[in-house]
Structure 1
Amino acid sequence: MSEQPIGYWVKLVDSLITERFQDALEEHGVTRRQWMLLNHLRNGTASGGELTEALSPFFGDPVPDGEPRTPSEHLAELVESGWVLEEGHTFTLTERGALSLERLTEIVEGIRTSASENVAPADFETTVATLRTMAGNLGYREGQAAPAQ
């Protein structure tokens, strides 16, 4: 196998993680973006605007055909499913949603564990630190939203 530049490996790993998350979550009737919304609501009630702002980097990414492209469309599906309660312009995780999120979190953690299997913890930390430094070298500042693709 020929040597590939770092961008090749970063994009490949990102696409493989995205694909694995998408497949696993879809088996449970949830999109990755819905999982992100549920996960954000784990911290408490949030307005639609707060959810949009918090997750805006992820809604700029390309999405599979037919998947809603805005947080409001994903939220409407979560409200309809009984996982999220809408009161006025605020959203809260229901008990049913919290239980579902707990199970989904186990699945996501399993994928993360699988992705880093056979990677020494020190190597993993070095990789993350290196990527963080490279992002800074390219203009990223801590707390800044990741650019949409």
Structure 2
Amino acid sequence: MKPLGYWLKRIDGQLEAAIDHLLAEEAVSRRQWQILNTLATGPRSLQEIDEALAPFRDSDSPTFQPAVAELVSRGWVQSGYALTGQGRLAHQQIAAKVHTFREKTIEGLSEKDYATLVGLLERVSANVAAL
């Protein structure tokens, strides 16, 4: 049996590659998708976008400003950082594909299985954080 770390790395890599491929078909990056999804709930400041997506920031990308600027230049986001009509339509179309992708990733799991899986991963995460 392979250890937990093996499966976490393998699944993470597979998910990253598959979602990147799906989003490339829509000509958006993963970060742009996350920004669209964040703004779908309402306007945000750049600081609020950065805070909402903090787990995805790193030393190479300390802010999402460049990705937001690309969405503004595309006409999907307006200043003040809210989705335009075009942005809402793009979000809806991409969200439908992402939803289908997510459904396929958990195919064969019951709702109870999924809840158990997520609960166990949360527990492992808390255990590691406490070390």
TM-score, length basis structure 1: 0.81
1:64-105 deviations in whole A, cap 9, x for unaligned?
xxxxx341110111000000001xxx2110010000000100
Higher normalized contact order (CA 8 Å, seq sep 6+, divided by chain length)? 1
1:1-149, aligned counterparts within 5 Å? 3-60=1-58, 69=61, 70-86=63-79, 90-139=80-129
Partners of 2:18 and 2:38 in 1: how far apart? 21
Unaligned runs of 5+ in 2: none
Partners of 1:45 and 1:126 in 2: how far apart? 34
Partners of 1:61 and 1:108 in 2: how far apart? 27
RMSD in angstroms over aligned alpha carbons?
1.6
- Residue 61 of structure 1: how far off its partner (Å): 8.8
4+ residue runs of structure 1 moved beyond 4 angstroms? none
Counting aligned pairs with the same residue, the percent is 34
Cα distance change of structure 1 residues 37 and 31 upon mapping to structure 2, 3 Å threshold: same
- Residue 108 of structure 1: how far off its partner (Å): 0.7
- The number of residues matched between the two structures is 129
Partners of 1:8 and 1:112 in 2: how far apart? 21
Residue 115 of structure 1 aligns with an amino acid whose one-letter code is: T
Partners of 1:56 and 1:130 in 2: how far apart? 23
Question: SS at the partner of 2:81?
Answer: strand
- Residue 38 of structure 1: how far off its partner (Å): 0.6
Partners of 1:10 and 1:124 in 2: how far apart? 16
Higher helix share: 2
Partners of 1:7 and 1:78 in 2: how far apart? 36
Partners of 1:114 and 1:61 in 2: how far apart? 33
TM-score, length basis structure 2: 0.92
Question: SS at the partner of 1:43?
Answer: coil
